[in-house]
Amino acid sequence: MKFTSTLAFGLSLAAEVTVAAKIQQAPKMTCPPGSFKELSAQAFMDAATPGWNIGNTLDAVPDEGSWNNPIFQANALDVVKAAGFKSVRIPVTYSDHFLLPNSLTNHTISPTWLDRVSTVIDMATSRGLLVVTNMHHDSWAWADVSSASGKNITLIREKFYSGWLQIATRLACKPSTVAFEPINEPPGSTAEDAERLMGLNDLFIQALRESGGWNKDRVVTLSALNMGGADRMQNGWFRVPKNMTNPWAFQFHYYSPYDFIFQAWGKTVWGSESDKASLVADLEAVRGNLTAVTGDAKIPVYLGEYDASQLSLEAAARWRWFDTVMSAARRLNIVPVLWDNGLDNLQRETEKWRDEVAVEIIVNAVKGKKNALAESTVDGGATTQESSAYVFNKVGEDIGEQGRNLSFALNGNRFKALSVDGVALKAGKDYAVQEGTVTLKKEFLGKYLSKDAAPGTKANITVTFSAGAKSQVEIVQWDLPVPAQTSSSASAVPAGQDLSIPVVWKGLHRVAAVKMIKADGSYLFDDWTVWLPELQKGRGTYGGQWDFDFDKLIIRRQTLDAVIASGQSATLTFEFYPRAAGNGNYLNYTLTV
């Protein structure tokens, strides 16, 4: 649809001028002559791939350091750059840094906070990293202009314009390698919501123009509702801001498919040919719809967030997902920027990557290099799921005379070496190679695995190839975890709280899925999962209904409330890796009313 409701929503140029007229204008910034080298949006994006997010940091609420990360240190950027990342996205939440945070009529941002944002940007640019920075959780804290919010849209627009005028003024003389993004994942689901968001984009561009400095020529990224892709550009729900001179790129975020990325309904495998084709089609649709909406096939596309968490997902499946996203992004000229909340990728305190394989896959794939990848089960209907990212052995069982075979998709590469803690394994003695299969010999595995070996991760084998990313094989002796209790009353948990169950892990510190069955045999949630494969039927969703931590299993409040509402007890079956129907690698926990 064409945007015909401008006057109705107060988003005409006259309305923009009215908003600006209400805001006390600071003098326009004047920057030293010759200190800004103009960049086209495409030149910026070419230099920015791949990128990395400083997540859960300056965007934390109420302040930096309030969430799971320490105050950001410049040394982390040295690690990021050394890994091969070329740019950083710096999400910033301003909501608690207005001098009166809970007021829509107070527009003044703390100068100290603006200085901190400027300092972190300088940390990046001084290292040759490009930067995109934004307003982040403000989108839900106060700047929600969707009809569902019920908020005063006029006051939000005034505060948004004033906020960006202050941000842009403070950052006006930053180099052209610093780009701006108006707002993260703006909520909404209707044409009216989309029109209101486009109005915010208009105000954003006006604020840049009014702030002076280099901002009218600075690269910006723009998005549709929710930073969605193809679906949010349909029916004219996206347009270019009025009177814009800035070079620009379209930004979207990608966390799909939902069931795999968010570990919903027992989905723990990914990577079939149809899986990969569906993912590629998603990204192609973004590029195609953007061209259709704007009439320009050359507008750069910025994938501002994507991730597949190492905390919960099976390693080989997520490595395959990363490789598929990166390869498609390269072909479609999309700049991928890894979301990192400090729990998934870079461990900020130690400055170590939690999964070096994933990082190498990303960096190599965007260069066009082919990565060898560990094979794993891709058939969602399989009742036994296997993975060459692991060697599992159950306590009380022998390794077997044949050792263990691990399969790899070499993708044109060759095996180069295997090592443990930097010590090379010996071909013929410790392992043998035939085409894409590595056989780990019984004698080698016997150093770590046996009937009587203590459970836990015993070693990690690094597998290197003739080109591309390395891979890793985790050797695990497993037994059932031991919970502190196996039953309790849902009603006994204080209102608003989750139920945490202390646990001693005896294998991978990871839950694969949780099946939730009421006493009458029906599913606690989502009856429709009866139509899913065997290892998905009746399973709940990670994060919202169940969770786990370093030393506990967690039953979320939503699940406790569902049990209470049902008026009957429920059995929660916590399933672990290795995952197979009937292999005994699960625990039952009973919730009574």
Determine the pLDDT at residue 232: 67
Question: Do the Cβ atoms of 143 and 183 come closer than 8 Å?
Answer: yes
Determine the pLDDT at residue 11: 37
Question: Do the Cβ atoms of 248 and 219 come closer than 8 Å?
Answer: yes
- For the record, the structure tokens of 442 come out as 């019984």
Mean pLDDT of 472-501: 98
Q: Residue 580: pLDDT above 70?
A: yes
| pLDDT classification of 5: cutoffs 50, 70, 90 | very low
Mean pLDDT of 216-223: 98
Mean pLDDT of 51-80: 98
The residue that leads in pLDDT, 441 or 104, is: 441
Q: Residue 22: pLDDT above 80?
A: no
What is the helix (H) or strand (E) element at residue 111, kind and residue range? Answer: helix 111-125
- For the record, the structure tokens of 118 come out as 């400027």
Q: Residue 454: pLDDT above 50?
A: yes
Mean pLDDT of 470-483: 98
Using CB atoms within 10 Å of the CB of residue 313, give its burial: 0 to 12 exposed, 13 to 18 middle, 19+ buried: buried
Q: At what angle do helices 153-170 and 13-22 cross, to 10 degrees?
A: 70
Contacts of 385 (CB under 8 A, 6+ apart): 268, 269, 314, 376, 377, 535, 578, 579, 580
* DSSP code, position 536: T
As a whole number of angstroms, the distance between CA 281 and CA 279 comes to: 5
Per-residue pLDDT tens over the stretch 502-560: 999 999 999 999 999 999 999 999 999 999 999 999 999 999 999 999 999 999 999 99
Q: Residue 235: pLDDT above 80?
A: no
Question: Do the Cβ atoms of 131 and 176 come closer than 8 Å?
Answer: no
Determine the pLDDT at residue 234: 66
Q: From residue 448, how far is each of 327, 386, 394, 400, 472 by CA, in Å? A: 37, 20, 12, 13, 16
| Mean pLDDT, all residues of the chain | 94
3-state class (DSSP) for residue 261: helix
As a whole number of angstroms, the distance between CA 256 and CA 278 comes to: 10
Q: Residue 39: pLDDT above 80?
A: yes
Q: Residue 385: pLDDT above 50?
A: yes
Mean pLDDT of 392-399: 96
* DSSP code, position 426: P
| pLDDT classification of 4: cutoffs 50, 70, 90 | very low
| pLDDT classification of 101: cutoffs 50, 70, 90 | confident
Query: CA angle 125-131-132, nearest 5°?
Result: 160
Determine the pLDDT at residue 20: 61
Mean pLDDT of 28-50: 94
| pLDDT classification of 26: cutoffs 50, 70, 90 | low
Determine the pLDDT at residue 582: 84
Domain positions in the chain are 35-370, 388-478, 482-592
| pLDDT classification of 1: cutoffs 50, 70, 90 | very low
Q: Residue 15: pLDDT above 70?
A: no
Determine the pLDDT at residue 390: 99
Q: Residue 29: pLDDT above 60?
A: yes
The fold adopted by the segment(s) 35-370 is: TIM Barrel (3.20.20)
Q: Residue 98: pLDDT above 90?
A: yes
Let me know if domain 388-478 sits in CATH 2.60.40.10: yes
Mean pLDDT of 206-216: 97
| pLDDT classification of 3: cutoffs 50, 70, 90 | very low
| pLDDT classification of 6: cutoffs 50, 70, 90 | very low
Per-residue pLDDT tens over the stretch 307-328: 999 998 999 999 999 999 999 9
Per-residue pLDDT tens over the stretch 116-147: 999 999 999 999 999 999 999 999 999 999 98
As a whole number of angstroms, the distance between CA 525 and CA 394 comes to: 32
| pLDDT classification of 278: cutoffs 50, 70, 90 | very high
- 365: β partners: none
